[in-house]
Amino acid sequence: MKRRAALTTLAGAVLSGCLPLVSTGEKQAYLFAYFTGNGGDGLHLAASSDGYQWEALRGGASFLVPSVGKSKLMRDPSLVRGPDGLFHMVWTSGWNDQGIGYASSPDLLHWSPQRALPVMAHEPGALNAWAPEIFYDRQRGHYLILWSSTIPGRFPETDGQSEEKYNHRIYATTAQDFNSFTPTRLYYDPGFSVIDATLTHAFGRDWLLVKDETRHPPKKHLRVAPAARFDGPFGALGAPITPSGLWSEGPSVLQVGDEVIVYYDAYTAGHYGAMRTRDMVNWEDVTAKLRFPGAGTKQRVRHGTAFAVPSALVERLR
């Protein structure tokens, strides 16, 4: 009851999901929502017509400055659109917060008041709530929010395999209107420390993508598992899809024509990368085709979300 009470006290608008943003006949473009640096200046947007060449909008200025959380950060923005027509965003609001940030917008220019969602408040010892992702599950008619957290002592068999005290698993809650939430639950435990879970529907089925956060011995790569539906069950994880030895995180999936591109943050190498597939099994490295804003600088693109929009929206944002 405490878990439900902690979440149902939140009032507000609706979150979003995996709904088509572009109507038949509309010219399509793509947006990428991201952060720079440590996330202190908020939401940035880049635009592309092909999914490879990206330009920063507003000259790289922020579209929304964070105002919630202990540190008032806006890292790892996950931005999607709901059946209400609104864009909705969740984000990491601090390194050691037990909640995540949320705001909505009809046009990506005018935003609702920001709110802190206390998704791990029922676990006083929880160390964090990182990289939330949000989806709309059309089969169930609700919104699904995923994130990674460490609860010390909860999975002792893998203690010490990640950095410091961290030993992450993926947690989830669902909502229909954001006036009430289901109790936070363990969503995915692959038997090792895992972060940055995201979902996609491609090639006729659902898929789960995660980062293996194992440090000892080092893994730090992305893997994919088939899913019966967004709530699981999940099949076996495949082999790593990102290049060997390249520490990668923050997967985001975009369908461009008959191909799927998975973007990732090669964070220790200081650049963004991408893998391309036509079946979610065989992968081609297309990093050399990418151009993202701020490459090689402190203003480079960090862990974000790619999504399709009408070209007219990009023009309005410009």
- Looking at residue 178, what is its pLDDT? 81
Q: With 60 as the cut, is the pLDDT of residue 24 above it?
A: no
**Tell me: the pLDDT tens digits for 46-92?**
999 999 999 999 999 999 999 999 999 999 999 989 998 999 899 99
Distances (CA, A) of 38 to 43, 126, 226, 302: 12, 22, 33, 9
Map out the domains of the chain as residue ranges.
2-317
Q: Is the pLDDT of residue 122 over 90?
A: yes
| CA dist., res. 207 & res. 88, Å (int) | 22
In tens, the pLDDT along 207-232 reads 999 999 999 999 999 999 999 999 99
Whole-model pTM? 0.92
pLDDT band at 176 (very low <50, low <70, confident <90, very high): confident
CB under 8 Å to 212, separation ≥6 — which residues?
190, 192, 193, 194, 219, 220, 221, 222, 223, 240
- Domain 2-317, what architecture? 5 Propeller (2.115)
Cα–Cα distance list, 64 to 35, 145, 240, 263 (Å) = 11, 21, 35, 23
